[in-house]
Each structure stands twice: as C-alpha cells, then as structure tokens.
Amino acid sequence: MAGEMENQSSAALRHVGIIMDGNGRWAAARGLPRTLGHRAGVDAVRKTVRAAGELGISYLTLYAFSSENWSRPKQEVRDLLGLMKLFITRDLAELCANGVRIRVIGDRQGLSRDILGLIDMAESRSAANTGLNLNIAFNYGGRDEIRRAVIGLVGRMEAEGRDCASITESDITGALDTGGQPDLDLVIRTSGEMRLSNFMLWQAAYSEFVFLPCMWPDFDKSWLEQAIEEYSSRTRRYGGVPDADAKDIAL
C-alpha cells in the first residue's frame, strides 16, 4: 500500500496545502492547556514534513500562523511565536540534511527582528536544497497576499512604462509569495471544519479539498495517505468535462 501511495502521489500531484486545525480542541479533550496542544502540533508538523518527502510530494505548504491569529490572547500568541522559533532552531539542521528547501510566505512587515533573523537563516541555509519545497505560511492571509502582489506588480509595471491594463493572470501568479511554484493540487484541513479560512485563495482556485476528522496533533503519514488516496479517486476538470462526457454532449 505504501509503495502504491508513493507512486500515486508523485505522479498525480505536486503541491499539497494543509490547514492545520484542532490543536486547542485536542488539548481541551485531554484536560490540557492550549499550549500543550500547540506543542503537539509541532510534532505533527515534523512527522508530516518527513512523510511528504517519503511520498514524493514536491511542494508542501503549511498554514502555521494567520494574519488574524494576532487577535488571540497575548499569551497564546507568545506561545505560538516561541514554537515557530523552536521549530526553526531545532529542526533546521535535519531539514537541510534531508534536502528540504524552506520558504516562509506572508507579510513580514512588523515582525520582530529575532523572527526575521530566523526566517532569513532558514531560507538562506536551505536555498540550495533540491528535495521537498516547504512553504511555511506565517503572518499570512490569502487576500493580503493578493493585495501585496498587485501593489508590487503595478509598481514594477509603472517603472517599466507598461500599461497596467495589460496585467495577466500569469503576472499575478508570478508576483505572489509562491511565485515560481505550481498552484495547489490538494488542500487538506483537519479537525472536521470545512472552511478555507483565507488560505491561498488564488492558488486554490482549482484545488481538490479533503476535510479530515482528526485533530492536527493526531495527523500523521497514514492520514496524509488517506487524503492522497481520496484525491487520486477524483477527476479534475478545470471547468471542462471529461472526454466521455464531451462525446455525449456532441451526440
């Protein structure tokens, strides 16, 4: 089964995005503070990155901290930022050893110097790696990403003397935080919730969605395989129809 899944995943999809949801509920169900739920969630991140590499996935984007998460209680925000720092400092060596290339997507304005320093270190040390491309969505919002991309694109076009009316979808795609990467093929959300929550709105235009009942700290390779199996059972139409249906329409 595992071998079949590896072949399917590498042949059928390139980019997987995961909305990691349920840390707090996982902790509450065990009578634990939310902080311990987030810590368990970091362990799930570690397992998932390894599993994605083993399954031949080329691009993995993890929704780590949204631009709306700043509204959470200050102590929880501090805990989340601390876990982000811990993940980079503790796991960077292993990630690089496994060929993982890291890109942190999201708005960096207003981030503290220590966070910015860790982001720069993670990206620079892993820049030459050729294995799994790991995007960490931090201080990220899909609408804000599009806004920033359009502002930057318009500025460049004006500087080049180009008419902004000539902007194409490809121009916008290239100006996004994920510029140069393929759109999302599969979006996974844990915890049973069925929302996109402002995650990669442009890149998810033709994605397949799989909503899993497990809380994020319980997510592992078997859940990832289950999501990929569901993805592999679907037919992606991109607004069209399969050949067989097209023939029926023609008749």
Catalytic residues: 21, 69
Query: In whole angstroms, what is the distance from residue 178 CA to residue 203 CA?
Result: 9
Select from 215, 223, 211 the least CA-distant residue to 187: 211
Query: In whole angstroms, what is the distance from residue 186 CA to residue 210 CA?
Result: 7
CB atoms within 10 A of CB 135: 24
Contact status, residue 109 vs residue 138, Cβ threshold 8 Å: no
- Report the residue count for the chain: 251
Query: In whole angstroms, what is the distance from residue 126 CA to residue 101 CA?
Result: 5
How is residue 164 written in tokens? Answer: 């902004």
Q: Quick one: angle between helices 34-54 and 221-232, nearest 10?
A: 60
Select from 200, 169, 175 the least CA-distant residue to 185: 200
Select from 123, 124, 182, 175 the least CA-distant residue to 149: 175
Query: In whole angstroms, what is the distance from residue 118 CA to residue 122 CA?
Result: 6
The residue written with tokens 């311990």 in the block is 36
Residues facing 135 on adjacent strands: 61, 103
Query: In whole angstroms, what is the distance from residue 103 CA to residue 109 CA?
Result: 16
